[in-house]
Structure 1
Amino acid sequence: MRTNQLNNISIITMVMLFLSVTVAHAAGGACKGKVLNPVTDICWQCMFPVKMGSVTYGNGAESAPGNITSPVCACPDSKGILIMGVSTAFWEHARMIETVKDPYCFPVMGTGMNNPKPGYSSGENRSKEYGDSDFAFQQAHYYYFPAWSILRLFMDFPCAENKAFDLAYMTEVDPMWNDDSLSFIINPEALLFGNPVSQLACVADSVAATVTQPIDPLFWCMGSWGSFYPLSGSMIENNPLNVNAGLAARLLFKLGRETLLYDTGINQCASAGVVTPILVKSNYRLQIARPVRGNDCIPIGRPSLIWGTAKNPPFGTANTSPDNFLWSLTRRRVCCVGYALN
């Protein structure tokens, strides 16, 4: 009953959002998009490898996801009854992130809203020839997008998240995203890593992300995408692919710092996930879905030279604008599949 109520609330919310938006061309033609097709626009092979017990299925080139130390597990339920079962781990299609130069533009829905302050909080990308350093700024949107639940797949699988599509966060109304100084409120430790020695360590993180996965202890590094700090929408970078992938990852860090992100790849007995003020980078991967669909799920920090060829045409595509990106997020999911011992 509660699930149906939540679904109804989400549907009503989305209807109200669509009623309040204007079609992209009516907003000056800057925002273009095409409604996401979860069947064709999502890289479904990114859910692999899957591990159940001691058996791994799928791509053997990558390690099986999650913090699993034993093929069997035991977890208490909400009533304290011990659940014995099989340890399970996979990559879950759970969220969508948009990083856009046009404020209030929603490529995932193929539409946009009128900017109440035209020109304010718009994206920017400039190179050193126009200032002291490269600089870029984008807005971001965070969606609940549990693909299995939306498509009604594996509904009896206890590890699958059962939520509806929903817009959960937008940075246009977040002062800390739009001002580096205000973002210092939630990331004061940024002062410790704003030096050449700390940033030099990010070279190792970039190499690791290129070959396998990023180095989690180097939590201030995004490999070849730059630094996680500040937790705002501005970056010292002018490569649009690095900028937008980096801001998608930075938004995850920011949400975790604000206790709005729960990591499902740490504790198999915590089905809702664990709050992570410091992002565990290796538990997340991104797939580019707009402007041009990619076929890879990339770890945080992997160079765009590997995965970004022809993914951001200079004049956009028939259904998308350049520099308005949509990312499909897959996260590590570990859980205990079993039954109650009465």
Structure 2
Amino acid sequence: MLIAMIIAFAPMDAARAAGAGTCTGQFPNPITDICWSCILPISIGSVRLGNLGDQEDIDNPSSPLCSCGTNPTIGLTVGFWEPARHVEAVRKPFCLVSLGGLDLNPGLPSPEGARYTHAEGDGDGGAFYQAHFYVNPVLFYLEAVADFPCLERGSFDLAYLTEVDPLWGDDELTLILNPDAVLFANPASVAACAADCVAASAGFGIPELFWCAGCQGGLYPMNGHVPYHLGGVRTAVLMAQRLTAKMHRELVAWGWHGQRGLCGPYFEPVMDKRAYKTQLTYPIPNTTKEAGRCCQPFGRTTVLWGAGKEYPVRGEDFAFMLFRKRNCCVGY
């Protein structure tokens, strides 16, 4: 596994890195740091079951019966929110927050994270973060639900480092991946994101406004440059959205929900932002259920839940558990 190789060849161990002022972190504790109610609601067909705390959900396939395979297997249509991915935004390149603050530092040149002010001196400023994408099928490797065929199999592993991706630090190179960004670089497209912010704060974002990241601004460019830094939590949530969208555009992340997802994942180069919820796991796990919920759909404002989640030095890097919408056909 990639994580085992990183630990074997890292120039310093996790304990030393955790004590460094520029690279700190903590492995997410599945008992204390993950809000398990985010899995809900569980659905059979269009009927939602066990929805404690009135968790938000998107539409499920209407029929409770389904079939998959060349020789069709009849089964039940099940839906839930699967904790399967982990994203972190860091200031120091190769700092693995979710591995306890492991400082990989392989000697490769990579842009440092930074916060800066604009030349106009108007008090506004931007930022740059590196980001990491982990595979984290926590329900499977904890064996929390035995013999359930809908769970992704695997273990906690590092899947993507933006430090080795030349597109992440260059706006022009990023156009190779998202040339459609030029279509939305105008006042009308930017203003439309206000409606996406309102929709995401009340429920889920508007899928037709796929270039918007809700209250965090624009999804483009899909890199680490943010021209409007208004707090670490807000910017880190935007990094989580951008990196997830980038993984979809590169076909590293796939769709798992809806009628098309019943028999397995499918290519989804334009991410459906309604299919993800985030839950902050570092520096301060967001396990307090505000209005019955501790996970937030992509694009929701951070004003209500992000206050007090950032503090100097050890609390300026961020990690999120990603809950993705999953529909599958459980055969008899």
User: Could you tell me which of 193, 218, 227 is aligned with 1:227?
Assistant: 218
Cα drift, residue 130 of structure 1: 7.0
Q: Which aligned pairs between 1:150-299 and structure 2 lie closer than 5 A?
A: 150-238=141-229, 239-267=231-259, 270-295=262-287, 296-299=294-297
Q: Give the match's secondary structure for 1:247.
A: helix
How far off its partner does 1:160 sit?
Answer: 1.0
Cα distance in structure 2, aligned partners of 1:23 and 1:130: 43
The separation in 1 between residues aligned to 2:119 and 2:37, in whole angstroms, is 42
Taking structure 1 as reference, are residues 272 and 82 closer, same or farther at Cα in structure 2, changes over 3 Å only? closer
What is residue 91 of structure 1 aligned with on the other side? 81
Deviation at 1:255, TM superposition (A): 0.8
1:300 paired residue number: 298
- Deviations along 1:11-44, one digit per CA (max 9) or x if unpaired, are xx43321122223675653101222212221111
Secondary structure in 2 matching 1:208 = helix
In the TM superposition, what is the alpha-carbon distance from 1:267 to its structure 2 partner? 3.5
> In the aligned structure 1, how far is the partner of 2:72 from the partner of 2:263?
15
Contact 2:284 2:309 in 1 (8 A): yes
CA contact (8 A) 1:290 1:324 kept: yes
**Distance in 2 (alpha carbons) for counterparts of 1:257 and 1:141:** 16
Query: Within 1, Cα distance between the matches of 2:132 and 2:148?
Result: 29
**Residue aligning to 1:313:** 311
Partner Cα distance (2:196, 2:103) in 1: 36
Match of 1:6 in 2: none
> How far, CA to CA, are the matches of 2:269 and 2:31 in structure 1?
33
Normalization by structure 1: what TM-score?
A: 0.88
Task: Give the TM-score taking structure 2 as reference length.
Answer: 0.90
Could you tell me how far apart the structure 1 residues matched to 2:14 and 2:148 are? Answer: 39
Match of 1:329 among 295, 302, 322: 322
Aligned letter for 2:298? I
1:241-279 deviation line (CA, Å, top 9, x unaligned): 111100111001111111111111133555441211111
Contact 2:38 2:55 in 1 (8 A): no
- CA gap of 1:131–1:23, structure 2 versus 1, over 3 A, is farther
2:285 counterpart letter in structure 1: R
Q: 2:262 touches 2:329 (CA, 8 Å); kept in 1? A: no
1:24·1:31 contact (CA, 8 Å) conserved in 2? no
Residue 263 of structure 1 contacts residue 273 of structure 1 at CA under 8 Å; is this kept in 2?
yes
Contact 2:77–2:262 (CA under 8 A) maintained in structure 1? no
- Please point out which of 26, 33, 37 is paired with 1:34: 26
Q: For 2:173 and 2:133, how far apart are their aligned partners in 1?
A: 20
Q: Does residue 125 of the first structure (1) align with residue 115 of the second (2)?
A: yes
Larger mean CA deviation between 25-34 and 43-52 belongs to: 25-34
Aligned partner letter, 1:263: G
Q: Kindly, what percent of the aligned residue pairs are identical?
A: 37
* Structure 1 CA distance for aligned equivalents of residues 53 and 233 of structure 2: 28
User: Which structure 1 residue ranges, 5 or more long, are not aligned?
Assistant: 1-9, 316-320
How far residue 65 of structure 1 moved from its aligned partner, in angstroms, is: 4.2
| Mean CA deviation greater in 165-174 or 231-240 | 231-240
Q: How many residues align?
A: 319
Output the CA distance in 1 between the equivalents of 2:257 and 2:53: 19
The equivalent of 1:19 in structure 2 is 8
**SS at 1:92 equivalent:** strand
Partner of 1:101: 91
Q: What secondary structure is seen at the aligned counterpart in 2 of 1:169?
A: strand
| Cα distance in 1 between the residues matched to 2:233 and 2:78 | 33
Taking a change above 3 Å as real, the CA distance of residues 195 and 63 of structure 1, as seen in their structure-2 partners, is: same
Q: Which residue does the alignment assign to 1:4?
A: none
Amino acid aligned to 1:158: P
Pairwise CA RMSD of aligned residues?
2.0
Q: Which amino acid aligns with 2:3?
A: M
Distance 1:71 1:88 in 2: 8
